[in-house]
Structure 1
Amino acid sequence: MKILIKLLSLGASVAAGAAARKALEVRWRKSTGQEPPKKADDLRNPLPGVLVFALVTAVTGAVIQVVTQRFARKVAADLEQHPAEV
């Protein structure tokens, strides 16, 4: 059961990360009118924009990871307390 919870947590984290990345890209396009900087070494992208996008992406990824891990732990704890309901 624990392996299943870990796999579901991983899948939820990856799916949420992909959705968040797309949402960040759309928001970046709407707010700046430019494509989001995908390559940090591309000198056509201004450094402040690259840093801001990297920071926002990293923070979003960390939040998603924490939320999905906590949710998976809560589900696992609930399953351990009430195994007959599964």
Structure 2
Amino acid sequence: MSRNLVERVLYQLCVDRSAKQRFKDGAEDFLARFALTDAEREMVLAFDVKALQAYGVNSMLTMGFWQELAPQRDMRSYMKQLRDVDSTSAVFSAGIKG
């Protein structure tokens, strides 16, 4: 339907504890409440953060969604998904320390 709706779904999953639990209990049932297209629903169910970002979804929302609910919630896995690297490649992420 729209990138905006996908962003609202991801935002809810990042900040609403009961939404997170409902998603964990049955992701497809949780998403059925929203007027998502099949492609949008599949991106969320597959935790396809690269496709979500290519669709225009805010990168902070995709990162939060990944950290809250993805099966492998570490940042190394997240960065691998975004960069299409194989298991022998190095993946780096930078952070600001202050």
TM-score by length of 1: 0.27
Structure with the larger RCO, 1 or 2 (CA within 8 Å, 6+ apart): 1
TM-score normalised by structure 2 residue count: 0.25
Pick the structure with greater CA Rg: 1
